[in-house]
Structure formats: C-alpha cells, structure tokens
Structure 1
Amino acid sequence: MANAYHDHNLALLAHLRGILLAMGETGQVSEESHALFLERFDELVVNLRNIPEERHLGQDLICQVFHRYPQIAHLVPRDLLWFFGGDCLHFMPDEEIEIFQQLEERRYEAESNGEPFDWNMERQLLTMPDQGARH
C-alpha cells in the first residue's frame, strides 16, 4: 500500500521528466544548464527508489521546475507537490491542500486497517462536484 503510493509518485516523476526532456528538445532553454538540471532530477529519482524517505531533496527540484520552466508549471502533476510538501505547497491553493489532506487521512486509515487504497480513485471521488456521490 505504501509502496503503491510511492510507485505512483515515481511514475509521476518519470512523466515530469519526459516533459522536461521535451523542453530541452524545443531549444527554449539553455542546453548546458538544462542537462545539469536533468542530471540532478535523475539523481533524485534514484535516491527516492533507494531511500523513499528522502523526499526533502525533491522539494528544491520541484520548486526549481516552477522557477526555471514557468511555461510548463501547469503540467507539473499536483500529486508531486503534495508528495514533496514543504515549499512545494506554496504552489497549491488552500482548497487543493484540503483535498490532499483528506486523501492522506483516507490512505492512512486504509493502511492501518490493512485495506487496499487506490489513490487515483479516491482522488476522483473527492473531487467529484456532487457531494452526495462521496463515500
């Protein structure tokens, strides 16, 4: 369960890396500094695979994505902002933070009861406009 959540965020990092790679191919960014940034990004992913608790390293990199590549800020998966927390939360409105707090509570409750938890399904349920459809 915790591994599924961790794997979910690693997949989102891989998705974001693809977006960053495409940014370099457009020629809109300095090739040298972009290559160095991608190296640091790859180091982060390797570190997270080996030591999942090392999330603080990602806070800086995700924040740098917003500052270095503002044109793709809207493409950064929101789950990554929550996953890394800290300064990344400054890029989320309060309403969105509340939804992620509810998701975390549901995830921890499911884990403590030994129940499976589908992060994406639960997120969809929480963001449905009809309050009556939530469980």
Structure 2
Amino acid sequence: MSKSHLDHHLAMLAHLRTILMAMGEAEQVSEESHALFLERFDELLMSLPDIPEERHLGQDLICQVFHRYPQVAHLVPRDLLWFFGGDCLHYMPDDEISLFQELDERRHQAEQDGAPFDWNQEKQLLSMSENGSRH
C-alpha cells in the first residue's frame, strides 16, 4: 500500500474524529462511553501508520459509528468503508462497491506500472463516467 493512499485515509479518519468530537462537545452522547470510544479511535490513528494491514480495529470502530452515532452516519467518508472492508461493506450499495473495486484496480495497476495515481481524481472520473452511463 502506498504511503499517499494510507495518508489519504488517515486524513479522512482525522476528519471523522473531528465530527465525533463535536458530537461530544454538543453533549449529544453519553460523555463517559464517548470518551472511551474516542480513546479507541485515537489508538487506531496511532497504530494504522505502523501496521496498515491490521484493519480489524478500524472495521469495528467504523461499524460502531453507524450504531452509536446514527445522526452522523451519513458523514462517514465512503472511502473509509471501502478501506476497512469487512462488515463496513454492509453500509455500501452494490453499485458503490463496484465503483470502489474499479478504483482499487486502477490504483494497483498504476502502482505496478510505477505511474502516479490520484485517488480523488480517479474517483471523480469514475463517478462522472458512471453517472453518464445512467442517463
């Protein structure tokens, strides 16, 4: 996995953490369990750069966001669902999974070819071509 690919997802996790922090500050959740959840979230942020293959904690935490914080579930970046996979994929429709599969295949091909790959740009291109084929 390329460092930029991991960095992209770490930035998304940091953004999601900001959203979760705001939930606590707005006192919309139980303070004690929220603090413990954020501790586990911070553990993920700290360990993921060193052990990116160990994603089980991320799967668990992202799924918990949907259960514990349903009011912000729509704000969870879709990229994180794909990145962590497993049970997270239950929150993605089939057409979205297909899009991310194609995106991942393009990323792997670019890595094999030694070519640069811009995840966001490719995702936008794929989304545009998919939307064009629906109309």
2:49 match: secondary structure: helix
Instruction: Give, as a single letter, the amino acid of the residue that structure 2 aligns with 1:121.
Output: Q
- 1:36 counterpart = 2:59: no
Distance apart, 1:50 and its partner CA: 1.5
Q: What is the count of residue pairs matched by the alignment? A: 131
For 1:29-108, list aligned pairs within 5 A.
29-108=29-108
Q: RCO greater where, 1 or 2, for CA within 8 Å and sep 6 or more?
A: 1
User: Where does structure 1 differ by over 3 angstroms across 4 or more consecutive aligned residues?
Assistant: none
Structure 2: gaps (5+ residues): none
Q: Deviations over 1:97-129 (max 9, x none)?
A: 000000000000000000010000000000012
- 1:19 counterpart = 2:19: yes
CA distance in 2, matches of 1:130, 1:114: 30
Q: TM-score, structure 1 length as denominator? A: 0.95
Give the superposed CA RMSD.
Answer: 0.9
Instruction: Give, as a single letter, the amino acid of the residue that structure 2 aligns with 1:103.
Output: L
CA distance in 2, matches of 1:109, 1:80: 21
Residue in structure 2 matched with residue 124 of structure 1 by the alignment: 124
